[in-house]
Chains A and B, each alone.
Chain A
Amino acid sequence: MAVVEYKDVSRIYPGSEIPAVNTLNLTVASGELLVLVGPSGSGKSTALRMLAGLEPANEGSIHIDGADVTDFEPQQRDIAMVFQNYALYPQMTVAGNMGFALKQRKVPKAEREAKVLEAARILDLEPYLDRKPKNLSGGQRQRVAMGRAIVREPKVFLMDEPLSNLDAKLRVQTRAELADLQARLGVTTVYVTHDQVEAMTMGHRVAVLKDGFLQQVDAPKELYHRPANRFVAGFIGSPAMNLIPTDRIDGKVTFGSFQVPLDAQTEKALASQPGVAFTVGIRPEHLQLVTSGIPGEVKLLEELGSESYIHVQVQHEDRDQILVVRTDGDATVSRGSTVNVGFNGPVHLFGEDGLRIE
């Protein structure tokens, strides 16, 4: 059980001008599963590797359980890490892999074996303890990597895209198992992924990064319903939020001939905004097909069975604009037909600087 803190942490790779991680401030509560999510190059892995001690921090400090570990070697930090490709020692058996860290700490053999066996039991790895990693399936390898982390009983688990090498079905299953395991063990966990679905389903809180900057850190629900800026709005949620550039005319934000419905609070905040250019964000489920609304042509239809995503091309400020509408599975439209789109829920508004207005 430990609190992890990043205080103004920056990492500039040699030969680069732009920091990979830029003055990151982040606190992970004890026992929390925090997910770092972002597109590639966002700095999420760098942030994790700095916490592991595999990458030095150029500025700022990192604290585990109150102790400044910024200049500690990985060995001194009492952390365990699960790597994307598992990084199992090929010449050691499953038991050898899981017990290696304990052996390094000179834990007596009997105690070591007991702990390995216990971890193997939790992860259903008992029959495989004498096998070499090359004789295991992808899912089993992933569990060995997990086992190697749990036997340590570390202060913090670090996970670097641990599920990305599994096939889609196994990934969904393992995702749930992993979240459950973490909750049972109650060990503070920092989890890196590029997959926002994984982030949303697993994280107690999710930290979104882009270009080395922390965009927002919040509970998944909050992230979804109140994205702090245009980037988070577009990144979280699938299919992605519709983001429509609009201009303010006569104090109102309009879409085509429609006035965008804003709640009173947002309306008030909008009044104090100096610019004219805004972005309206609306999730696909908050749009619907109506008899009288914004007219457009169906360009693409994605049918998933339980629901359908309809891509409608509408005219807005003399430009073509695609709106994705999410409907239930039995939509009757077809490609090329003309439909009307109407608003059906909350609308997000972002200013010229991309920040949320409310």
Chain B
Amino acid sequence: MVEQQRIEPADNGTSGKGGGRARKSSFLSEAWKRRLPLLPAFLIVVVLTQVPFLMSIYFSLTRWRANTAEPREFIGVDNYIDLVSNSFFWSAAWNSILMTVVSVGLSLLFGTGLALLLDRKFFGQGFARTLIITPFLVMPVVAGLVWKNQMLNSSFGVINWFIEGLGMEPISFASRYPLWTIVVVLVWQWTPFMMLIILAGLQGQSSSVLEAAKVDGANGVSTFFQITLPHLRSYLELGALLGVIYLSQVYDHIRVITRGTGSANLPYFVYLRSIGGGWQFGAASAYSIVVVIFSFIIANFGLRVLSGLLTDEGA
């Protein structure tokens, strides 16, 4: 090691601070000193999310068909008025809600079940967990392709092979039940994620509480409903929140499995109306603004849940 010069700690008031008056200004700079580390991330996020959003607001007030030579024209709230009577929009909204609620709900339900099963000690526990989490890691595009072509395909899909084995007609799932096919794939991918969160919750449960319940004479079922489930509540909420964030914005699966037929959610609908072939940039922007407003209502609710989680922690 290189011999370094010894430096005594500065213990004489070279900074010239010291009185009550000087402290005030040092507190002000203290606030900025604390803010400084998060400013880069903050500014970048503001620029990258808010600027496009403001542009969208402006576009939504214009008539702008990108596939024609018409110039962009300011038309006020007409796009929003048209939207109210657009039945395609409302059916996409309904698809969105259905898809999000059902997939998040089922993923949480199955995820909890799997977590409970995996929280027992048995041979090969870690390996079974590894197998179960894998679907979450699969690229959504690949998940969609594999399910569409190899599981559910009417001529060479594995599931239809079983169905035929039972003596029934093969079903072409993706065209007959487009929405539910997508839900199946989403649940397949997101159940492992929910399982991991719930598992973290189960493992965070203090064993002394469970032992106390046992001493108090509670059986397995009542221990689960009266102690484990309330304990898991915040984990379920966290899972639901993250699930809603990601599953309300599903695009890849729809694109690969159905290309939107009978299963377009709002993001996909906006896509279809704009760069996905509609080129109605003005109207599509209006749709997306409405989507954002909806999302913020959900987000507000979600963040309230989150704030509950954070304040519990502070206590």
A94 to B266, CA, bound (A): 59
The contact string, 1 if C-beta is below 8 Å from chain B, for chain A 76-119, is 11100000000000000000000000000111110000000000
The contact string, 1 if C-beta is below 8 Å from chain B, for chain A 56-82, is 100101001001111110011110000
| The one of A72, A77, A108 that contacts B6, using a Cβ cutoff of 8 Å | A108
Q: Is the CB of B13 within 8 A of A72?
A: yes
Number of CB contacts from chain A to chain B under 8 A: 41
Interfacial residues of chain B within 9-50, with CB under 8 A of chain A in the complex: 9-13, 15, 17-18, 20, 22-23, 26
CB distance from A247 to the nearest CB of B (A): 45
Name the residue in A56, A71, A77, A108 with the highest tally of chain B Cβ atoms < 10 Å from its Cβ: A71
* Chain B residues closer than 8 Å to A75, beta-carbon distance: 9
Name the residue in B5, B11, B13 with the highest tally of chain A Cβ atoms < 10 Å from its Cβ: B11
Q: Is the CB of A106 within 8 A of B1?
A: no
CB distance from A336 to the nearest CB of B (A): 34
A77 to B13, CA, bound (A): 10
A72 to B17, CA, bound (A): 8
How many chain A residues touch B (CB < 8 A): the figure is 19
| The one of B1, B7, B8, B18 that contacts A70, using a Cβ cutoff of 8 Å | B18
A245 to B259, CA, bound (A): 87
* Chain A residues closer than 8 Å to B216, beta-carbon distance: none
* Chain A residues closer than 8 Å to B68, beta-carbon distance: none
CB distance from A2 to the nearest CB of B (A): 10
Nearest chain A residue, comparing its CB with the CB of B5: A106
Q: Is the C-beta of B87 less than 8 angstroms from some C-beta in chain A?
A: no
A59 to B18, CA, bound (A): 11
Main secondary structure of the interface of B (DSSP, over half): loop
Nearest chain B residue, comparing its CB with the CB of A106: B4
Q: Is the C-beta of B313 less than 8 angstroms from some C-beta in chain A?
A: no
Nearest chain B residue, comparing its CB with the CB of A70: B18
Q: Is the CB of B5 within 8 A of A76?
A: no
* Chain B residues closer than 8 Å to A72, beta-carbon distance: 11, 13
Main secondary structure of the interface of A (DSSP, over half): loop
Q: Is the C-beta of B3 less than 8 angstroms from some C-beta in chain A?
A: yes
Nearest chain A residue, comparing its CB with the CB of B12: A67
* Chain B residues closer than 8 Å to A109, beta-carbon distance: 1
How many chain B residues touch A (CB < 8 A): the figure is 19
Q: Is the CB of A108 within 8 A of B18?
A: no
A105 to B26, CA, bound (A): 25
Known contacts A70-B18, A71-B15, A71-B23; is A76 also within 8 Å of B6 by CB? no
CB distance from A3 to the nearest CB of B (A): 14
* Chain B residues closer than 8 Å to A76, beta-carbon distance: 9-11
A76 to B12, CA, bound (A): 8
Q: Is the CB of B9 within 8 A of A71?
A: no
A106 to B1, CA, bound (A): 11
Q: Is the CB of B18 within 8 A of A106?
A: no
Q: Is the CB of B11 within 8 A of A105?
A: no
Q: Is the CB of B3 within 8 A of A108?
A: yes
A173 to B194, CA, bound (A): 51
A68 to B7, CA, bound (A): 21
A85 to B187, CA, bound (A): 45
A201 to B120, CA, bound (A): 52
Nearest chain B residue, comparing its CB with the CB of A75: B9
Known contacts A59-B20, A68-B18, A71-B18; is A105 also within 8 Å of B13 by CB? no
Q: Is the CB of A78 within 8 A of B18?
A: no
* Chain A residues closer than 8 Å to B4, beta-carbon distance: 106, 108
A40 to B17, CA, bound (A): 33
A59 to B11, CA, bound (A): 21
Q: Is the CB of A105 within 8 A of B17?
A: no
Q: Is the CB of B5 within 8 A of A78?
A: no
Known contacts A59-B20, A71-B15; is A107 also within 8 Å of B9 by CB? no
User: Lowest 6 CB-CB distances: which A-B pairs, in order?
Assistant: A71-B17, A106-B4, A109-B1, A68-B18, A78-B11, A106-B7
Hey, which bits of chain A sit against chain B, CB under 8 A?
56, 59, 61, 64, 67-72, 75-78, 105-109
Known: A69-B11, A78-B9, A108-B4. 5 other contacts (CB 8 A): A71-B15, A71-B17, A76-B9, A76-B10, A108-B6
